Each structure stands twice: as C-alpha cells, then as structure tokens.
Structure 1
Amino acid sequence: MALQLIALSPIVLISSYLPFASPSNFSYPAIFNFGDSNSDTGGLVAGIAFPLGPPNGQTFFLKPSGRFCDGRLTIDFLMDVTGMPFLNPYLDSVGAPNFQTGCNFATGGSTILPAKANSTSPFSFGIQVAQFIQFKTRVHEILAQDKKIQQFLPFEEYFGQGLYMFDIGQNDLDLAFYSKSDDQVLALIPTILAEFEIGMKELYYQGARNFWIHNTGPLGCLPRIIATFGMDQSKLDEIGCVSSHNNAAKLFNSQLHARCVSFQGQFPGANLTYVDIFSIKSNLISNYSQLGFKQSLAACCGYSGLPLNFDNRINCGETKNLNGSFVTAEACNNTAEYVNWDGNHNTEAANLYVSSQILTGKYSESPLLGDSHLLAISEI
C-alpha cells in the first residue's frame, strides 16, 4: 500500500509521519551530508558563531538549534525514517557529538564555487569535501589507536557503504544575480557544475559509492527574491515568482541531471540518485491551500505585513530602528500555515511535506538504472 501523505494537513503529518517509517527499508549504516542552509544542522553557527537566535527552532527544539528554520529540516525527517539520530555538524565540537551514523558538512550560505572574502560562509563545497577527507583520515587514525572510542565514530566500512547526500548550488545562482545579467548567470552554470563534479569525483576516489543528489528549488519563489527582483509585475510568473530566477534554477537542474547521467556512465561502480526537489517545492507553492497551508509566498517570521511580510533591512527575530521606530521581525502565530519561514527557508511544516514527497519515490531517479533507493519505503 502506497504511503498516503499528500492530502493531509501539515499538523496531521507531523503527528502521524514517523509511525509509517520503517528503518529496515533503509540499508545505509551512515549518512554524510554536504550542502547549504537547506540542510545545515548547526555548522555555520558552530563554525563562525553566526547569530541565529529566537524564534528559530521554536516549533520542535523549543530553542535555536543552528537550523535556519522554526524546527526540523528535510534531512532531519529523512534521518528519522532511518531510525538514526539527527546528523551532528562536523564543525561542532561542543557536547561530545556522536558521528557513528554520519556527519554533516553543510553550512548556511555555502556555495559550490570557492568562497570569496565577503561570502557568508567560507565553507564552500570544495572545503566541505576537504573536511570530509580530514574527518575520514582522523577516524582511521583514532580507531587504530583506541577502539574504545568506536561508539562515537563510523566503522571503517561505513565510508564505503554509507550514503553521500548533496543539496547545494542555490546560493551560487542567488549571488550571481546581484552582479550579473540574466544571460551571464545562465552562462555561469556549466562552471558551477564542473566544480561540483570535481568534488563528486574526489569523494568517489575516497571510496564513496552511494550518491543522493537534490536539485535546486524554485529560487524565484523566495520572498526575499520577490521583494528584491519582483517589484515589476512583468517579471513574475503565473504564481507570483520571479521568472528569471526560476528559469536559471531549471537550467541548472537540467544540466545537473546531465552531469549525473555522465558521472554514472564514467563510474559504473557508483549508485547515484537524482531527486527533483524543484518539482516538489513548486507543487507545494502552487497548491498550498489544498495541502493545508494558508500562505505560500509570505514569510512567517518577518516584517512589513502581507503579501510578503519581508523587509531586507531586518532579519527574523531582530529588533531595529526603522524610520525612527523600533520594530521586531516576529514569527507568525501558526507556523504550520506558512510554507516560508524567514524569507529564505522553509518552515518545518513545509520541510515535512517535502520529505513526505521524497519518500513516495515519485521524484527520485537513478540515471541509466531507472529506480530509486527509497522506493521500498513507499510500499508499506
């Protein structure tokens, strides 16, 4: 029987999601994640002391958790399905983190291309890959000296058997639009993806075999992007998103898919899955009311009111003097009614919807193989 989650409200989903999960259907002993804020479980906060205070984390963790969200991320829900704990950030050394079932190298603001001096995150994809290599080397060294610490570190075979997840590239496109023409942004995509492929190959040479790649979402539907680039109605599509940014995301995804097919062909030993996050998130934004949401393009935590509730001058949770008055970017009363959390990231409710759709298997493809590693989970 297929997993039926699509028509349920976000609140019902949150309360009923986990009982459907069957850890036995997920065979990976560890997960190693690379990416940006969409899957950052605390890396940027730990790495550069990035200020991410309340109300972030209020829905699930009841306090800031290092996540750019009111609660859990898509990767958190996927970890729940495996029966494994949430991934600890590689950069967080406080609190005796346990890395036995994986490690998270993702950090908010990260790009595929090398970071610049003014980048939000210095931990671009190449750095994350280098951190993984250092992590793997140190694990081998430590285990050779002291087997007692095995309970906190992956078994050596986990590096070959584990799943390597990727959700990165959105920031490369996002940042490019601030300094380049639309055509120049599109022309930059092959360079971005060439850098991504270099990192993928390096991980393969390090023994990685199972790759799980999320394409990028509809960038033009973020409240921040609409507020910045969409004031001219002619630049918006039929659902109110900025066309130029979504077109760039579509081209990026098309070329990413082609790279995945090519990579699979070059390395037959690889087991690669491409996940269409763009379609999942676009469907959510287009059909939000039928899915139990009340706002698709407005930020839950922001300032200025509808339709976007976003002001570039003030971040979620901040209090500032704007035009002579002190104002606060506060959270909405019911986060489950909103798709967007802070103008840039999904709410926990939206992340739950995304994860539920991933688990149906309908949006996952293994190039040249034509199947999905998670199809078994949709038949329970």
Structure 2
Amino acid sequence: MMDSHKQLFFLSFLPLLLLLLSGHMGLQLTEAHLQRHEMNYPPKMLLVFGDSYVDTGNTRIDQAGSWKNPYGVTFPGKPAGRFSDGRVLTDFIAKYLGIKSPVPYKFRKLMLKQLKSGMNFAYGGTGVFDTSSKNPNMTIQIDFLKQLIKEHVYTTSDLNNSVAYVSVAGNDYNFYLATNGSIEGFPSFIASVVNQTVTNLLHIQRLGVRKIVVGGLQPLGCLPSSTALSSFQQCNSTFNDLIGLHNKLLNQAVTKLNQKSKDNSTFIVLDLFDTFMSVLNHPSTNNIKDPLKPCCVGLSSQDFCGSVDERNVKQYKVCDSPKSAFFWDLLHPTQAGWHAVYNKLQTTTSALRRLRY
C-alpha cells in the first residue's frame, strides 16, 4: 500500500504519465482500453495488399502496362508503376487519411524516410490464389509484412495505429474463365475466393492491425474488356449477377468476423459495385462523357494500351481528354474515374469515415 503522501504525488502526475504513454515517448501501449483510445484518432499508416487497382509501383518494369507510355501521362507525367493515367485508389485513400501514399514494397530500401506512412505490397495481376501473373499472391504479400515485423521495420504500436486495405479486383475470376472454368462451377469458385479472402483478413488481424478494409468487387461486366462486344455500349448483366454473389458472400463473412472479433478489431467492406454503378449511370455529374469507352486502346485486337511494334512504333491511341473518360484501358479507371468513385464513397457511405475513427 502507498502512504497518503505518495498516493497524492502519484495522482498529481497521472495525467502527465498518460500523456507520455499515449505515444509521445514512442512507448508501446499494452492495455486494451488504451489501445482502443488510440484509434479515436486518424491512423498513421496505410498497409495495402492486392492487385493493379491499388499497385503504385511494385510490378516489374519489364511487364506490360504500368511502367510503359502512356501510363502516368496525367500524374506524374510519365510512367510510374500505376495502372492508370494518374492516381489510383491507394492514393485517394491515403489522401483521405491525411498521409502520404505508402511506399511500394519494391522501393522500401530507397525511401526509408517515407516508411512511417506505411507500405504498399500490391502487385498487378494477382489474386488471393495464383493467377497467370508470376507476381506474389496475397498470402505471399502478407508474408512480406511478417518479415518486416521480424526485421523490426514496423512495431506492434505501428500496426495498432494502421489501416489495412485489401483489394480483390477480379483476377482470380479472369484466370478461372481463361483456364476453361465452367459457368456451372462459378458459384462454388466464388465461395472459395471469398473464403480465402477471409483467411487473408484474419492473417492481417493477427499481425496486430485492428482496422481492415476490403474492397467489394466492382461491376466486372461493365469493364471495357466485357463491353467491347457491344462497342462499349452496355454492361454484361450475367457477369454482374455473378459478381453480386461474391459481394453478398463477402458482406456476410465480414459481418460474422465483426461479431466474433474480441480485440476491438473492425472489418469494413468498401462498396465499389454500387459506387462504380452510380458514377457510370450518372456520368455528367462527374464531367465524364464516355462512361464505358476506354481512353487508351490498342490499334488492333492483338494490341493494347502501351503496345509498340518491333520498331518501337506505338500500336495504341489515346483519347483527347482522359479527364472526361471513366476507364483508362480495358480494365482500369482513369485518375478522373477513381476521383469520381472516391467522391461518391465520401458522400454516400460511412465506410471511409470509419477508417478515421
């Protein structure tokens, strides 16, 4: 027992002690109620896992797309590893959180000062399972973070003050169809993709991240790769219905995760399906003139955005104004498209607000 003088002395310094513990001294908070208190403030780090919708430079320079002209023509003015003419979803989420876009994992040793904003582990073409891409799937991406924790690049306190964003944009399904997967078997494959996604979310949670966001699947039937057959005039409703099953199962699974969560973790679904559809159905609201037509296309069916022939002559064409197009190429939005999606997410859902508090 403390005597009364010592007790008064201790109590008088308790507010100062709590202030020092709250992170100003870089000390790790171990008590659950203090950890909860931390997340009343905007997170300090963003950790990103997934595919080309969020990749900001991990994909190799010798691979098609993100490092080739005309990618990056709007921002930063040259190819910089983003699958767009400019910024992608990662950049807008980071902006919302008030932090710099996280460093691509590939450049972690070259950008040491920026590691405090988090890290981007996403690679174009990947899925929760292996796809035709040789890039690391999501399980391997999470293993990269585990290794960084072992190397003390990030601490438990860092992870407690971070948000993870998980992007599953459809590469598993593209690979399933490309390898002669049947339409009859599609629903059970969708269930397996969602189950693996949940496994990945739990892996991230166990590393200490307490706010984990997963993107719902966008309307794949509205991507230019699906609408090309109709000269970019209408979405493929059959494909979109199957995507609806994915999103239904994902929402159900995330609801269960939140019900079972015992350590104040929060799982959030970002509704990209309805957000994309809202923008595509009301393009003029966002100054978009061509909602389904891609800005950058190959000159023939064998070519694509960024193609060149053996003499290095470009085999693609770019629209006059990427700012007025929603899609950049056959799969990815323009910076203007992502900006419209971001604006819609801010005004129509609570998901983004839940990232901050």
Normalised by the length of structure 2, the TM-score is 0.80
Question: Of the candidates 76, 79, 88, which is equivalent to residue 103 of structure 2?
Answer: 88
Aligned residue number for residue 354 of structure 2? 373
Measure, in 2, the Cα distance between the counterparts of 1:374 and 1:197: 19
Cα distance in structure 1, aligned partners of 2:46 and 2:143: 17
Distance 1:154-1:38 versus aligned 2 partners, 3 A rule: same
Shift of 1:277: 0.7
Matched position secondary structure for 2:317: coil
8 Å contact 1:210–1:271 — kept in the other structure? yes
Separation of aligned partners in 1, 2:278 and 2:296: 22
Instruction: Give the Cα separation in 1 of the matches to 2:109 and 2:304.
Output: 27
Q: Once the two structures are superposed, what CA deviation does each residue of 1:273-314 show, in whole Å capped at 9, x if it has no partner?
A: 21111101011111113431110111101135xxxxxx5411
Aligned to 1:294: 289
Q: Percent identity?
A: 24
Q: TM-score, with normalisation over the residues of structure 1?
A: 0.76
Gaps (5+ residues) in structure 1?
A: 1-24, 141-152, 305-310, 366-370
Structure with the bigger RCO (C-alpha within 8 Å, sep 6+) is: 1
Deviation at 1:154, TM superposition (A): 4.4
Counterpart secondary structure, 1:164: strand
Confirm or deny: 8 A CA contact 1:317 1:329 kept in the other structure.
Answer: yes
CA contact (8 A) 1:173 1:249 kept: no
Question: In the alignment, does 2:239 pair up with 1:245?
Answer: yes
Q: Confirm or deny that 1:137 pairs with 2:128.
A: no
Aligned residues: 313
- Write out per-residue CA displacement over residues 310-348 of structure 1, whole angstroms, 9 at most, x where no aligned residue: x54112122348xxxx76212211101101001110000
State the distance in 2 between where 1:177 and 1:339 align: 25
Q: Which amino acid aligns with 2:266?
A: N
The structure 1 residue matched to 2:342, chosen from 355, 358, 361, is: 355
| 8 Å Cα contact 1:218-1:246 kept in structure 2 | yes
Which residue number in structure 1 is paired with residue 189 of structure 2? 188
Distance between the aligned counterparts of 1:26 and 1:330, measured in 2?
46
1:340 to 320, 327, 330: 327
RMSD of aligned alpha carbons: 2.5
Name the structure 1 match of 2:158: 158
1:302 aligned counterpart, secondary structure: strand
Measured at CA, do residues 171 and 288 of structure 1 come closer, stay the same or move farther in structure 2, by a change above 3 Å?
A: same
Q: Matches of 1:272 and 1:266 in 2, distance apart? A: 11
Partner residue, 2:125: 109
Deviation at 1:244, TM superposition (A): 2.2
1:109-147 Cα deviation digits (max 9, x unpaired):
01112x15xx22431111111111112211x2xxxxxxx
- Confirm or deny: 8 A CA contact 1:174 1:219 kept in the other structure: no
For residue 82 of structure 1, report the CA deviation from its aligned partner. 2.6
Moved more, 271-280 or 61-70: 271-280
Q: Distance in 2 between matches of 1:83 and 1:289?
A: 29
Shift of 1:93: 4.6
Report SS of the residue matched to 2:242: helix
**Aligned counterpart, 2:51:** 36
Contact kept? 1:26, 1:82, Cα under 8 Å: no
Corresponding residue number in structure 1 for 2:90: 75
Partner Cα distance (1:338, 1:363) in 2: 24
Instruction: Note the alpha carbon deviations across 1:324-373, whole angstroms, 9 max, x for none.
Output: xx76212211101101001110000011111112222x3345xxxxx951
Q: How far does the alpha carbon of each residue in 1:212-242 deviate from its partner, in whole angstroms, 9 at most, with x for none?
A: 1210101011111223xx45x9xx9xx6111
